[in-house]
Amino acid sequence: MRKNSRLPNLHNLGIHLRILLIVNLLAVMAAILLSQHLGEFLPTVAQLSALVQPILLLSMLGLYALYPLLNKLKYWHGIAAIILLEITFTSLIYLFIDHFFAFDANGEAYRACLLTAMVTSIVLYYFYLQERAYSPAIAEARLQALQARIRPHFLFNSINAVLSLIRSQPARAETALEDMADLFRVLMSENRDLVPLAQELSLCHQYLDLEKLRLEERLKITWQIADMPSDAMIPPLILQPLLENAVYHGIEPMPEGGEIIVKIYTKHKELSIIISNPYAPENDRHVGNKMALKNIKERLKLHFDLESSIKTNVKNNRYEVHIRIPFGS
């Protein structure tokens, strides 16, 4: 048993969705077992459901509320507490039925409590296995593998650009090398913790300054970030690779260059980041593009599970990536 197992994050919508799914699946299985023939199946499901859903609802609300406390306990204590809580919730529901419907369910209640404890164990075991699959050690290795992916194309072209400046504009060459050092420090560090949005943006500025060195007036950037919460926490290197994509696919193939628009805002406790660039289908080299997107998608999933999303679309000759990340309380 590893020491650093953690309880599932009961404040995460994705976790609750999975609990709902597993428990209902088990209920349907039970219904199949109980039914003698097909006609009995649906009534049995309904009967079980009438018991299962109230317990589920109460559990989810209860666990959501108690999660901050549970999370302070040691892993095993937390597990025991959750199982005890579930038995309590089941008993409460039975007491409620007993009281209001004057329905003697005492014998049933013991059975139900036992079943609840078993189902809870199954669900917790599932989360334990899932957490192990995404364990920090493995996740970190994956994050590392996922991160060291700046285009060699960019590295060598930038060095080439700096070399061209050394004779004529040594001061600009100095700044460019400093920017490169900062950029690669972040790229090579073991950064799996979330960083403030402002920090990621300053990295993006350094990156874009380097690209401007090569592409000059062909590269135009518009920032629509007046409503941006600078302190929002995001995974590191989410924006920079997308800008790199935008430059590689949207600016470099155009003789006259084009405009990259970055828009960041919050809405309904969600942080939205939208990056768009000019798009010409004949210049499409989507292979590299998909790699970077897949990479970011996977990292968002490691950090936020089902609560984040990344979508791409093409409209009005512009290619757009839209990232949504949970934000706030």
Partner 1 sequence: MTILNILIADDETPARNRLRDLLADIENVALVAEAKNGKEAIDLALQTKPDLLLLDIRMPLMDGIEAAQHAQKLEPKPHIIFTTAFDAYAIKAFDLNAIDYLLKPIRLERLQAAINKAHALQPKQIAALKPLQKARTHLSIHERGRVLLVPIETIIYLRAELKYITVRTAEREYLIEESLTNLEAEFAERFIRLHRNCLVTPLFIIGYEKRKNEDDEQQWVAILKGIPETIAISRRQQHLVRQA
Interface residue list for partner 1 (CB under 8 A):
151-153, 155-157, 159-161, 163-165, 167-168, 213-216, 252-255
Nearest to 278 by CA among 256, 310, 311, 309: 256
Residue nearer to partner 1 on the CB measure, 2 or 153: 153
Q: CA 176, 182, 185, 187 torsion: positive or negative?
A: negative
19 DSSP β-pair partners: none
Neighbours of 311 (CB within 10 A): 10
Both structure tokens of 114: 């036992």
Taking the C-alpha atoms of residue 83 and residue 81, their distance in angstroms, rounded to an integer, is: 5
Both structure tokens of 199: 């920090």
Q: Provide the 3-class DSSP secondary structure of residue 102.
A: coil
Residue nearer to partner 1 on the CB measure, 74 or 290: 290
Q: What are phi and psi of 59, to 5 degrees?
A: -60, -45
Residue nearer to partner 1 on the CB measure, 164 or 230: 164
Taking the C-alpha atoms of residue 27 and residue 24, their distance in angstroms, rounded to an integer, is: 5
What count of Cα atoms within 13 Å lies in the side-chain half-sphere of residue 283? 19
Residue nearer to partner 1 on the CB measure, 13 or 280: 280
Query: Quick one: 92 exposed, middle or buried, by C-beta within 10 A (0-12, 13-18, 19+)?
Result: middle
Residue nearer to partner 1 on the CB measure, 49 or 157: 157
Residue nearer to partner 1 on the CB measure, 112 or 251: 251
Nearest to 113 by CA among 98, 83, 91, 81: 91
How many helices (H) and strands (E) in the chain?
A: 10, 7
Paired sense of beta strands 318-326 and 233-234, if any: unpaired
- Cβ of residue 136: shortest distance to partner 1, in angstroms? 33
Residue nearer to partner 1 on the CB measure, 39 or 152: 152
* DSSP 8-state secondary structure symbol assigned to residue 249: I
- Cβ of residue 151: shortest distance to partner 1, in angstroms? 7
Q: What are phi and psi of 278, to 5 degrees?
A: -60, 150
Residue nearer to partner 1 on the CB measure, 160 or 202: 160
